[in-house]
Structure 1
Amino acid sequence: MLTLAPSRFGQRLTAALERLALIISAVAAVGFVVTLLQNCSLGYDFSDEGYYLNWISGPSDFTPSISRFGYVYHPLYLMLDGNISSLRRANVLITFLLAVAACMCLLRRLAMETEGFSFWRSADGIGLSIVAACSATLILILASSQWLPTPSYLSLTFQALLICCIGVGLAESSASLASIAGWIAIGIAGFLAFSAKPTSGVALPIFVTGLLAVTGRLKWRMLMIAAGVSGLAMLIQIFTIDGSIGAFIRHMRNGAELADELAVGHTLVESMRVGTFHLDLKEKIALAATTATVLLLVWLNYLEGCAANLIAATATAALAVLSAALVWQIISFPFDYRIYQGVQFLALLFAGVLGCVALQIGGSTLRLTRERAALAVFFAVLPYAFAFGSNLNYWRTGAAAAFFWTLAAIALLAPAKLVPGQGRSLLPVAVVAFVMAVVFMRHGMTHPYRQTAPLSESTSAAHFGGSGSTLLLTQDFAAYIGTLRSMAGIGGFRVRDPVIDLTGHYPGALFAIGAKPVGEAWLVGGYSGSDHVGERILESVSCVTLATAWILSEPAGLRHLSPDILDRSGIDIARDYETVGTLESPTGTYPDTYKQQFLRPNRAPLDAVAACKVARAATQQKAQ
């Protein structure tokens, strides 16, 4: 063990370096968030993001489905007048501020049994929470390490988990103002999680109940507060959206059946898995090195000696300077992204577990109580609750919620007496998580989701018809939107006219021109069941809507839907539509561009309605 006779100079120097590291990293964290907000006016994804915006802007246009995230975010969309940049910025700020609050509530919980109860609201506690919260912004690049900041069902799921963490930090077995607020937060979190992704909404209560039972805070009268809040919110949503509980059940069942028929891996049976991940040699070395770095700095902070503490403070300050240099792009790291790169954040969890064990054996002041162990396990498994139900690999998806591994490490490594000036062992955890988050986010902004160039090359203004928004896009994307809008206007298209999207992957084009998507916010193509599901969805649309619907098609596209799915609704594209214009789609995900056609109905609406009814009657007769 490193030991040196304590000196006032050494102690003062160590304290000064620790304070400097906290200040630099906190300022860099604020700068990091400001950078994210500035980039919210750049780029646009025509697939997933278009789907999110179609849902959020007009959730009542579609049959209620499994996820209700569009209804939750719709008031925010209206409040911001449909401005896409503002909607993205709100998503960033909501996520970041909830993460800060979640970390502060954890620190409050950890310090409650000591005289350090006020640490969570001290400058040290707030600064630590701000730095640690930066790893929560990983949700903005989702599981692919690519920039996608628009609110979605995944961001709502993550925000629900953050609210749950706040509630867990406040909830007690007895009634008090803070405790009741905590139980209410848990109830709200359950409702939001279920609204975003029902599979996560089912997993979350199980994890929360287990945590509170182990820590002795589970009391039925308090639990009823959370259950009552969640249940009341669900009932309000059901009767507002579906009209009745029976209709809600039908809609959920129909949504599950469509997901099953689409064959994308969203079924309940397919959700019950853990999955595996593979790291190459370089990735394993990086994981081991990051784990060792955090572990060493925490260990040095716990040693009884000025030299050890001074070394840790110096190294932490150096990491803080590194984080600032990365944020302001003074330096950059080469980043060769691979599919499971996000699991590098497991280093924080590994360091927490190994450090806790080593410090326990070494006789440090750290004491692993049942409360801390339960909290650590709870945070460690929250990424699974986040990923549960996804059709992607759970380790890849769960890495977007790596912030909870940061919280798990904090729960394991916090000193027994968490008082102002004594939280230095936690700063390396927060700073390392921050550095990793900046590296990942920089990669995301240079490789935005399904776009052709870094965000820095998004310099051409593109105007969106329905929302009135303006975004800066790459020249090819901006030209595509401008051409499509001009073509639609010349052809007589008006904002909110219905459009059937047969491209299978360009729902964002419909949002760009202010169209009302027919059937679903995204008629997904490219899966074995896409045509069958598209046919079923269009059969549920009224004949009146279909009679006036335009069509955007991509006949040779890799994910296009067959025009035959319109047969049962009495529509023949060759006979009943005329081409307003053709244009080339931007490449986006694909190496090649594909010709798209924008088609206008040429039949009288009454004739189209009559043909639709005849075709559907014939289909029903055959089915009988």
Structure 2
Amino acid sequence: MTGKESPLRDLDWRAASPVLVLVLLLTQVGLYVWMAQRGFEFTDESYYFLNYLYWRDLIGTMSFFGAYFEWPFRMLGQSVPAIRIFSLLLLLASSAFFTREVLGYVSRREGSSRETPWAFMVAGMAASMFYFGHLSTLRAPSYNLLALCSMLLATGLLLRLLERGVLFTNARLTVFCYGLAIGACGLGKASSGVMLVLLHALFFVLANRDWRLRHLIEFLVLSLAGVSLNFVVLQLAHPQWLEELREGMVLVSMDGSHNLLGSVKSFWWKVQALAPTFLAWTLGAGVTVALLARWIIRSRRTALSVLVVALVVGSLFGLINAMDAPNSTTLPGSAKLIWWKIHAFVPTFLAWTLGTGVTVALLAWWIIRSRRTALSALVVALVGGCVLGLIWGPEHWWLPLLGLAVLLLWSFEGLSRKPFRLVRGDLTDFALMALLFALPVAFSFGTNMPLLEHSQMAAVFAITALLLRLLRLARLGILAPPALVVCLAALCLPALVIQLRAATDVHYTYRQLSALGEQSLPVHLGAADNTLRVDAATRETLQSVIGAARAVGLAPGRAILDFTGDGPGLIYALGGRPLGTAWLLGGYPGSQTIAAHVVEKLPAQALRNAWLLSSDNNPRAIKDWQQLLNARLGPDAHELVATVHIRAPYRWGENAPDSLSVQIWKPRVAALAEGK
């Protein structure tokens, strides 16, 4: 630990490291591209497709992501595999820019002119593919992708603007593009956009060095101009967008699936539940690292003793706090509950045990040879345990796990100072780390899913914080080059496992009947006649619905109002045009109210001319849709012309049937026209 920076580009491993990390990234990309033509998702992803094509025709929406992805989708010939690959390219490009700017920002603040080693950029790109982890088979661009890419670009641009000597070439263009990214995030996902602005403002106050009034006004005006351009283009493309947004807010208030206050409370309860175990691990691991790193040069026996004691105490403390007190008062009931608690905790415990076990073994073997080797082994084991926790541990642990790893790696830097002390740059360093760990929460803010689990889609922010710490350790001479290679490669593995699981295990897919790698049967669907590869049950479902619809005269391009509650995929497969809303959500407390509101808002003639889809046994179906239409149009405005029984693409509730009925209703005005 010399405290002197080691120029990475002059080391012998500089050619080998990027190759190894690049191979892992290309493997992920290859798997993703191979699976791009496989799988058809009937709900969320089909909803995205309909939004690209018909976002102007909706009566209400809270997100205008369709406006951003309409032309890419149309220019790609409405190809589903192509737009899925477009998602990947957009994600990789924005994450590469973000990683480069974050690592470059810290280097430039320290007076270094070195470029970010591209092995780190590749590792950051690999980390961005965590986006496909939580909802693994939703691969088409969505409001989530637009929000994430905008947040990556905006944060990278902000860091570029905050570096020393902000008056660089094209600084004004950079500020304008920053505003452009902020505006895109807000129009794609308003809750994330608001949180992003708040977090950036706080970081700006802590990290900005140029407080000249002229500079601040220029920054504000140009960034607002960038934000405004989004709204100007949206106004030109769709003059009624504001009315559509207002109506979207009304629909969301009726929905019952999005409760912002409930989401915040749930997140806070989750934090409270995780805090004891996290603090226990922090205590155990913190004592280990601090004492070992400080004493390793003094006494081998003392160092190993401290290591073993801290690991044992931390592990026991963590296990005790991870297991809640059993509710049962009987001995057999308590024993059974304790067993289930242990069984649930095994993945995380094994990950940490393996990681710390490797630490002990390597240190015991190497501690007498080289202090640097011993510390490098400790870092590798720490990163390895973190990676194993990301792969096999509970999803809600991912953010505390990475936070602990970053905290411990930072302690290596602090303990390398003689004497140990905090320096002026630490405040900005802490602020940057806090920003990177807060951004995943901002990304998921407002979701109707568990926030911590959902935020793993934006894990690239937190993993970049880990990459920053590894780069610092390497430049300080604490981390040996071979150990750095291993760490970078290890950080690519969790995202690779995500792709492998989606290809081989149906339990890691989202609303699919089989793993993507097993879906090989071609099927043609949609107005653009897309060819996708699906499983046998899904192909039979699609072919039977499309065949029945064509037989009764439902041609592509006809307006369809879906009352099945989860029919975006049926509308898209039929090549239909959604009437009023791309997805009339069923199964939520406010679903019936929303259906009544949509029927009331739609023009009567449009309702009379529309084809209808319904179901009498789908648990998400709108139950009283006929009464709603009869009240608006009078009786017998539509006639039942076909009923198809399909395999349920997913289960909604415990008692959901395996087979669903889909009823096709024809407008009588069309039938009368055909009879003349």
SS at match of 2:268: coil
Q: Say yes or no: does 1:40 pair with 2:36.
A: yes
**TM-aligned CA distance change 1:393 to 1:285, over 3 Å:** same
Alpha carbons 1:65, 1:252 under 8 Å: kept: yes
Equivalence map 1:113-262=2 (5 Å): 113-114=109-110, 116-120=112-116, 125-141=117-133, 143-144=134-135, 146-172=136-162, 174-177=166-169, 179-217=171-209, 219-243=216-240, 248=242, 250-262=243-255
The equivalent of 2:316 in structure 1 is none
Identity of aligned residues (%): 18
TM-score w.r.t. length of structure 1: 0.82
The equivalent of 1:492 in structure 2 is 553
Q: Shift of residue 117 of structure 1? A: 1.9
Q: 1:600 aligns with which of 651, 666, 673?
A: 666
Q: 2:501 aligns with which of 420, 435, 443?
A: 443
Alpha carbons 1:17, 1:313 under 8 Å: kept: no
- Greater mean deviation of Cα atoms: 57-66 or 365-374: 365-374
Alpha carbons 2:600, 2:632 under 8 Å: kept: yes
Alpha carbons 2:640, 2:663 under 8 Å: kept: no
- Greater mean deviation of Cα atoms: 562-571 or 448-457: 562-571
Deviations 1:221-268 (A, max 9, x none): 22322122112322332353244xxx71x4333322211211112456
The equivalent of 2:59 in structure 1 is 63
Q: Say yes or no: does 1:475 pair with 2:536.
A: yes
Alpha carbons 2:563, 2:614 under 8 Å: kept: yes
Deviations 1:492-512 (A, max 9, x none): 111110111111012111101
Alpha carbons 2:608, 2:638 under 8 Å: kept: no
Alpha carbons 1:549, 1:601 under 8 Å: kept: yes
Deviations 1:349-395 (A, max 9, x none): 31111221243134279975333222111111001110111122211
Q: Say yes or no: does 1:84 pair with 2:77.
A: no
Letter in 2 for 1:220: I
The equivalent of 1:612 in structure 2 is none
Q: Shift of residue 400 of structure 1? A: 1.2
CA distance in 1: counterparts of 2:224 and 2:161, whole angstroms: 14
Q: Shift of residue 273 of structure 1? A: 6.4
CA distance in 1: counterparts of 2:351 and 2:205, whole angstroms: 34
Q: Shift of residue 414 of structure 1? A: 3.6
Letter in 2 for 1:237: L
Letter in 2 for 1:477: T
**TM-aligned CA distance change 1:177 to 1:54, over 3 Å:** same
Alpha carbons 1:170, 1:178 under 8 Å: kept: no
Q: Shift of residue 269 of structure 1? A: 7.3
Q: Shift of residue 36 of structure 1? A: 1.0
Q: Say yes or no: does 1:390 pair with 2:454.
A: no
Q: Shift of residue 147 of structure 1? A: 2.0
Letter in 2 for 1:415: R
Q: Say yes or no: does 1:49 pair with 2:45.
A: yes
SS at match of 2:560: strand
Letter in 2 for 1:343: W
CA distance in 2: counterparts of 1:209 and 1:147, whole angstroms: 35
The equivalent of 1:567 in structure 2 is 630
Letter in 2 for 1:281: F
CA distance in 2: counterparts of 1:229 and 1:363, whole angstroms: 43
Q: Say yes or no: does 1:534 pair with 2:595.
A: yes
Q: Say yes or no: does 1:406 pair with 2:463.
A: yes
TM-score w.r.t. length of structure 2: 0.76
Letter in 2 for 1:350: L
Q: Say yes or no: does 1:505 pair with 2:566.
A: yes
**TM-aligned CA distance change 1:500 to 1:64, over 3 Å:** closer
CA distance in 2: counterparts of 1:423 and 1:181, whole angstroms: 40
**TM-aligned CA distance change 1:266 to 1:196, over 3 Å:** farther
SS at match of 1:415: helix
CA distance in 1: counterparts of 2:153 and 2:455, whole angstroms: 17
Q: Shift of residue 488 of structure 1? A: 1.5
Letter in 2 for 1:458: Q
Q: Shift of residue 569 of structure 1? A: 2.4
Alpha carbons 1:191, 1:230 under 8 Å: kept: yes
Deviations 1:275-323 (A, max 9, x none): 34467422442564588699999999xx998563488489969x99xx9
**TM-aligned CA distance change 1:371 to 1:551, over 3 Å:** same
Q: 1:349 aligns with which of 374, 396, 403?
A: 403
Equivalence map 1:284-363=2 (5 Å): 284-285=348-349, 288=352, 308-309=372-373, 312=376, 340-341=394-395, 343-344=397-398, 346-363=400-417
Deviations 1:416-456 (A, max 9, x none): 89599989576555433311222233333433210111011
Deviations 1:555-587 (A, max 9, x none): 1111001223323321546x6313234232444
CA distance in 2: counterparts of 1:600 and 1:308, whole angstroms: 76
CA distance in 2: counterparts of 1:596 and 1:581, whole angstroms: 6
**TM-aligned CA distance change 1:428 to 1:335, over 3 Å:** closer
Alpha carbons 2:351, 2:392 under 8 Å: kept: no
**TM-aligned CA distance change 1:238 to 1:385, over 3 Å:** farther
| Stretches of structure 2 lacking an aligned partner (at least 5 in a row) | 275-321, 323-343
Alpha carbons 2:646, 2:662 under 8 Å: kept: yes
Q: 1:101 aligns with which of 97, 100, 115?
A: 97
CA distance in 2: counterparts of 1:469 and 1:385, whole angstroms: 36
Aligned CA RMSD, in angstroms, stands at: 3.8
SS at match of 2:114: helix
Q: Shift of residue 18 of structure 1? A: 7.1
Letter in 2 for 1:23: V
Deviations 1:9-36 (A, max 9, x none): xx99x96567534421222212211221
Alpha carbons 2:565, 2:622 under 8 Å: kept: yes
The equivalent of 1:326 in structure 2 is none
SS at match of 2:196: helix
CA distance in 2: counterparts of 1:295 and 1:428, whole angstroms: 14
Q: Shift of residue 485 of structure 1? A: 1.5
SS at match of 2:115: helix
CA distance in 1: counterparts of 2:439 and 2:485, whole angstroms: 22
CA distance in 1: counterparts of 2:199 and 2:122, whole angstroms: 26
- Residue correspondences, number: 573
**TM-aligned CA distance change 1:362 to 1:354, over 3 Å:** same
| Stretches of structure 1 lacking an aligned partner (at least 5 in a row) | 3-10, 324-332, 608-624
**TM-aligned CA distance change 1:310 to 1:299, over 3 Å:** closer
Deviations 1:206-234 (A, max 9, x none): 11111122111563322322122112322
- Greater mean deviation of Cα atoms: 538-547 or 39-48: 538-547
- Greater mean deviation of Cα atoms: 581-590 or 380-389: 581-590
The equivalent of 1:5 in structure 2 is none
- Greater mean deviation of Cα atoms: 80-89 or 130-139: 130-139
